Amino acid sequence: MTPGARIQASAEILDEILAGVPAEKALTGWARRSRFAGSKDRAAVRDHVFQALRCRRSYACLGGGETGRALMLGALRAGGRDPAEVFTGEGHSPAVLSDAEQAAGQAPETLGDRFDLPDWMIPHFEGALGAKWCAAAQALTGRAPVVLRVNLRKATVAVALAALAEDGVEAKPAEIADTALVVCAGARRVAASRAYREGLIELQDGSSQAAMECLAVPPGARVLDYCAGGGGKVLALAARAEAEWFAHDAAPARMRDLPDRARRAGVCVTLLEEAVKAGSFDLVLCDVPCSGSGTWRRTPDAKWRMTPERLSELTEVQAAILDRAAGLVTPGGRLAYATCSLFCEENEAQVEAFVRRQPDWRLATQRHWTVSDQGDGFFLAIFER
């Protein structure tokens, strides 16, 4: 595909997403219909679409409207490129710009336009991050790093780096966590690499790894990942300690890949249908469902789908999970609460409300990770009683 044809395809996919189709579904549908598109084309189109979603408001200003075509026009203007070079009407390139399109477009002025956020969200960013909110919002408009976790059960950092290099994946250690490697080149080769297939590495964001490093696990402890999903957190913990590992999720189907991942990692994780029937635990981790605001550069359409009502529903679910999980902790044990959100309502406010509701618990420690070139926004609180 020519660069123009990729832009045209991206504009059409964006129109579907703007009409309500989830981004992944729209991209997959396009790839299925477009057998002529090679892997480089698919990757380029995906990059265009995701970048336009990250910067939807500022590109809409620059492009003069909120259609796929206007967003791609805005993207070219934002990148300092002359759109006329791409909007040529030749082959499968977008049609030549009309006079109205050439005249339309202005620099983003409002805060929401400049920082690519829905207006209602700005007080939430400001409330949580103070003067740093602009930098965080800005960071969410860029691409996320690809970060790997070295599985210390199977490899050292040096061994993992060498194995990745054999398969053309270039990575370097990241300061954020002892086990974190940031991929510098060959990210698309990770999944097929020997290092991945043999469980020397896993894909895991740097902040999640750093947070799991903060959770000390005594030998022989019974540890429950109460909102396990694909099991990324319990696998990170299990790579570093000898303990009994359990995983639970309200939607058990989300744990479907966990047995394979655990086998590859060389650890044993017992899946629980009903955690309450499995006795008590020395450590219960609640990696709760959240807005995901710390990860929106990876899932940029989620930024625009979030509403104040949804945020409020999520905070209720989070509080209920904490209360339920607290009842599963053995006397003298610990309860950990984690989100990949930047918002105070989902982090500190939840912590404060929990210790008010359950005064036999006290906050031992809490920590934030900001959106960076090594990790997403993340929050961890550890309670003791």
Closest separation in Å from C-beta 325 to ligand SAM: 8
Site for ligand SAM in 212-231 (CB under 6 A): 226-230
Stretch that binds ligand SAM, among 46-54, 120-128, 250-258, 366-374 (CB under 6 A): 250-258
Give the integer Cα–Cα distance in Å for 358 and 361.
Answer: 6
Site for ligand SAM in 75-114 (CB under 6 A): none
Closest separation in Å from C-beta 195 to ligand SAM: 20
The three-class DSSP label of residue 325 is helix
DSSP 5-35: HHHHHHHHHHHHHHTT--HHHHHHHHHHH-T
Give the integer Cα–Cα distance in Å for 291 and 177.
Answer: 24
Cβ nearer to ligand SAM, comparing 162 with 268? 268
Cβ nearer to ligand SAM, comparing 46 with 254? 254
The catalytic site residues sit at: 340
**In terms of Cα–Cα distance, which of 350, 337, 321 is closest to 378?**
337
Could you say which of 249, 282, 345, 346 contacts ligand SAM (CB under 6 A)?
249
The three-class DSSP label of residue 380 is strand
Could you say which of 63, 68, 232, 375 contacts ligand SAM (CB under 6 A)?
232
Determine the size of the site formed for ligand SAM (CB under 6 A).
Answer: 15
Closest separation in Å from C-beta 65 to ligand SAM: 35
Q: Cα–chain-centroid distance for residue 124?
A: 19
Rounded to the nearest 10 degrees, what angle do helices 23-33 and 39-54 cross at?
150
Tokens matching residue 28: 């997959």
Closest separation in Å from C-beta 158 to ligand SAM: 26
Q: Could you give phi then psi for residue 320, rounded to 5 degrees? A: -65, -40
Do 343 and 315 touch, CB atoms closer than 8 A? no
Stretch that binds ligand SAM, among 167-175, 245-253, 328-336, 374-382 (CB under 6 A): 245-253
Closest separation in Å from C-beta 212 to ligand SAM: 9
Q: Which contacts of 301-305 are long-range, i.e. CB under 8 A and separated by 24 or more positions? A: 301/17, 301/22, 301/23, 301/53, 303/53, 303/54, 303/116, 303/117, 303/118, 303/140, 304/53, 304/56, 304/118
249 is in an annotated binding site: yes
287 is in an annotated binding site: yes
Cβ nearer to ligand SAM, comparing 86 with 177? 177
Cβ nearer to ligand SAM, comparing 42 with 222? 222
Contact pattern from residue 281 through residue 300 relative to ligand SAM, giving x for each residue in contact according to CB under 6 A and a dash for the rest: ------x-x-----------
Radius of gyration, CA atoms only, the chain: 23
Could you say which of 19, 251, 273, 309 contacts ligand SAM (CB under 6 A)?
251
Closest separation in Å from C-beta 204 to ligand SAM: 8
Closest separation in Å from C-beta 357 to ligand SAM: 17
Q: Does 376 bind ligand SAM (CB under 6 A)?
A: no
Q: Could you give phi then psi for residue 99, rounded to 5 degrees? A: -60, -40
Tokens matching residue 330: 């053995």
Give the integer Cα–Cα distance in Å for 352 and 361.
Answer: 11
Of all residues in the shown chain, the one whose CB is closest to ligand SAM is: 232
Site for ligand SAM in 306-335 (CB under 6 A): 317, 321
Q: Which contacts of 69-72 are long-range, i.e. CB under 8 A and separated by 24 or more positions? A: 69/11, 69/15, 69/94, 70/101, 70/104, 71/11, 71/14, 72/7, 72/10, 72/11, 72/14, 72/48
Cβ nearer to ligand SAM, comparing 88 with 299? 299
Give the integer Cα–Cα distance in Å for 335 and 225.
Answer: 10
Q: Which residues are annotated as a binding site?
A: 249, 287
Q: Which residues are annotated as a binding site for S-adenosyl-L-methionine?
A: 249, 287
Residues that bind ligand SAM (CB under 6 A): 226-230, 232-233, 249-251, 254, 287, 289, 317, 321
